[in-house]
Structure 1
Amino acid sequence: MAVETLTETPSLLPVFVKSALGGKKKGDSLPQTSYRLADQVVDRQHLQDYQRLCGFAADDTLPHTYPHILGFPLQMQLMSREDFPLPLVGLVHVENEITVRRRLTAEDVLDITVSAENLAPHPKGTTVQIVTVAEVSGEQVWEGRSTYLARGKGDPDAARGSMPDLPEVSPGQGAAIWSLPKDFGRQYAKISGDVNPIHMSGLTAKAMGFPAAIAHGMWTYARCVATLGPAASGPSSSHVWFKKPVLLPGKVELVVEPGDPTLLGLRKPVRSSADRVVEHLVLTVETR
């Protein structure tokens, strides 16, 4: 695979605009090019803003999910290419895996590489995995694998991937309830750069087939990981499955399996036995 080294971080708004105007894409193969951005220095103010919005402690340690934010512009640049077979605008993040090989700090200068793998049918369309790798002085220190779904005509026999069952937890055993305002998608977009229309307003989300704007999956992921404390920012691994979008404004309830704080779920708060439980995500975290 060819590696194209960029000299600066791509600006995301033009990428989304270009993709929105580009029309439908066709194809059954992925680009054989990866993007690399060397010598990425962490902006401490940006790090602090991210930590505050996602619930992490404000210190010099990079949160478990933070390198994803640094690699996200490269992901978007890759998925906006003419030879990328799926439309960027409207892609839904359905699954994510992260491996942290050692604790990272704002002192670390990162080289980040992004590539695309595993174009595959899905019951609701087509999925692709975008792999992000962070290195320090040639040592691989972090890896993320994001699975995105392009909704469309799917294959009912296609695999959905394996997912653990969310534990049966009674309403009284929820660990926390978080309230998200109507503009929360825009708040996170300012930090993440993810200005996908499905997050920005009800009007633009409805144009993409959603009943309202939805919260970013990577925020819900990060917010849950933050509850585990410093251990999750050291050597660790996580796997999240995004089941149902969180509509904005809205409330979500954090659920932790009794006796195992590293298996978490996020669901609509259950107010009575008559309420239908809506599960938003399932997350497993392994710390070492």
Structure 2
Amino acid sequence: MTVRHFEDAPAILPLYLRAALPALPVVGGLPGVRHTPGSVPEVTLERTGVSTDLDHLAAYADVCGFALRDTLPVTYPHMAAFGLQMSLMVDTTFPFAPMGLVHLRNRITQHRPITVTEAYDVSVTASDLREHPKGRLVDVVSTVRVAGEVVWEETMTLFRRGGGGGEETQRAPLDGVEPPAGAATWRLDAGLGRRYAAVSGDRNPIHMSKLSAKAFGFPRQIAHGMWSKARALAAVENRLPDAYAVDAEFRRPILLPATVSFGTAADGDRLLLGITGRAKDGKPAPTHLVARVEPR
């Protein structure tokens, strides 16, 4: 396993430019641009000594609805991992070009809270390239350590349509789980994607404007999946234990602006979360997010 060390967070804009190259006619097939299918890269990307910028943390908390505390929101380490994740995915040894990948599922395990004053190390790698009935899946795994102790882990499951057709070897964690009935209503404005992009660095065109989203087949811009997961967890922040795992499944994108419903329900010692849209034209309300919190 090769280890690539980054002194600072990778610059995101050049990574997006590299991500777009494989989608260009002719250019996308050139050596050094074309991705190599068939396996995941044997490489780990890492940053050490990551510290928390309190102004950035406050901006993130404001966009996602978290209270300011002396510990990090459970989704916040994803901010530190994102540049490494993008660097991994634009590498031509990664099996799929980033544009066109769908963030299908996300699992975060918090082994203990991370205080805002702690420095931590972040590592990112790819694993488990596998079949899906409609394509293929691959996991991007991020790990956070404090003084060598694993305190936080994330698995992003990415879906690539086409070229598959086989069944998954394991059942998806939230397969068959329906969202709880929504008791709260959230009105999301058209600029939400841009505000989350400003704090996360995730400036994928599908989130930025109606015009740029249309270029990728969406009628208008969509909310980030990781915003929806963060917002749902922020809504139940006072009910979360210190150590837990939270699985989320992103079922349908939230087209902005939107009015959505948020609901919760107990499932034994677990907590179910759901974000749903509005029923329209005789069709049932679409499910945007289903998540489940399980104490560790």
Q: 1:200 aligns with which of 189, 199, 208?
A: 208
Change in CA separation of 1:39 and 1:233 when aligned onto 2, cut-off 3 Å: farther
1:225-264 paired onto structure 2 within 5 Å: 225-232=233-240, 234-257=242-265, 262-264=271-273
- Paired residue for 1:36? 46
Shift of 1:202: 2.2
Offset from partner CA, 1:8-57 (integer Å, 9 cap, x none): 11011110111202325341111101101000000001111111111111
Amino acid at match of 1:17: L
- Residue type at the aligned position of 1:268: G
- Alpha-carbon offset, residue 94 of structure 1: 0.6
Equivalent residues, number: 284
Change (3 A) 1:258 1:237: closer
Q: Which residue of 2 aligns with 1:181?
A: 189
Distance, in Å, in 1 between the alignment partners of 2:147 and 2:132 is 38
Deviation at residue 121 of structure 1 after TM alignment: 2.2
* 1:269 corresponds to which of 264, 278, 290: 278
Q: CA RMSD in A?
A: 2.1
After the TM superposition, which residues 55-70 of structure 1 pair with which residues of structure 2 at under 5 Å, given as runs?
Answer: 55-70=65-80
- In structure 2, the residue matched to 1:7 is 7
| TM-score, length of structure 2 as denominator length | 0.89
Distance in structure 1 (CA, Å) of the matches to 2:128 and 2:18? 25
Mapped partners of 2:105, 2:54: distance in 1: 28
Q: Does 1:21 align with 2:18?
A: no
Q: Which residue of 1 aligns with 2:92?
A: 82
Unaligned runs of 5+ residues in structure 2 are 23-27, 29-33
Structure 2 residue 132 is matched with structure 1 residue 122: yes
Does the aligned pair in 1 maintain the 2:182–2:276 contact within 8 Å? Answer: no
Q: Distance in 2 between matches of 1:253 and 1:166?
A: 17
Long gaps (5+) in structure 1: none
Deviations 1:109-168 (A, max 9, x none): 010000000112223322210000000011111001111112334416456724254457
Conserved? CA contact 2:179–2:289, under 8 Å: no
> What is the SS of the residue equivalent to 1:218?
helix
Return the alpha-carbon distance in structure 1 between the equivalents of residues 143 and 120 of structure 2.
10
Identical pairs, percent: 40
TM-score by length of 1: 0.91
Q: Indicate the SS of the match to 1:223.
A: helix
Q: Is the 8 A contact 1:103 1:233 kept in 2?
A: no
Give the deviation of 1:206 after TM superposition. Answer: 2.3
Residue type at the aligned position of 2:48: A
